Amino acid sequence: MAEIKKATPVKSRTRAVRGVRLAAKAADHKAAPQKLKMLITVVDRNKTEFYMDLIQSFGVNMQFCASAKGTASSEILSIMGLEEREKKVIFSVIREEEAPRALRMLEKKFATIKNGKGIAMTVPLSSMIGVSLYRFLSDNRKGG
């Protein structure tokens, strides 16, 4: 007579395999995803390239700029001794941990560069569609 072996129940094998897969996934993703912020910088038109290059040095992969104009009337500008200048607004996506360093550097440059005044602020991004897009924007091409 042939010997009959008792088969392992399917349910317990599935759980074991699922456990191994979850452990492998956890090993691949050791840390939570990095949060992103939108860095908005307003500068004089002729200093736009300089500031875009500076911001890019903080791991920023996506930036765009738009033309802008101040809202102060010409009377106010003349009283304060200011000229009406064309401005550019630079929109950059930056990792949350890099944002404070970038803001400090921008503040330093605003104070030390001739005609390099500007303002900068960040706005948190709460969600994003697509893993590939997130990896590109967070300068995370390896997927960790």
**Which of 68, 13, 75 minimizes the C-alpha distance to 45?**
68
Q: Which pLDDT score is estimated for 29?
A: 53
Q: Which pLDDT score is estimated for 6?
A: 60
Q: Which pLDDT score is estimated for 89?
A: 95
- Whether 23 shows a pLDDT value over 50: the answer reads yes
Q: Which residue reads 């920023």 in tokens? A: 60
Considering the entire predicted model, what is its pTM? 0.67
Structure tokens at 36: 């992103």
Q: Which pLDDT score is estimated for 130?
A: 74
Mean pLDDT, residues 58-73 taken together: 86
- Whether 121 shows a pLDDT value over 90: the answer reads yes
For the chain, what is the mean pLDDT? 78
CA distances to 41, 49, 78, 114, 116 from 108, rounded to whole Å, are 14, 17, 27, 12, 10
Cβ-Cβ contacts under 8 Å for 37 (sequence gap 6 or more): 93, 94, 95, 96, 99, 122, 123, 124, 125
Handedness of CA 73, 78, 80, 83 (dihedral sign): positive
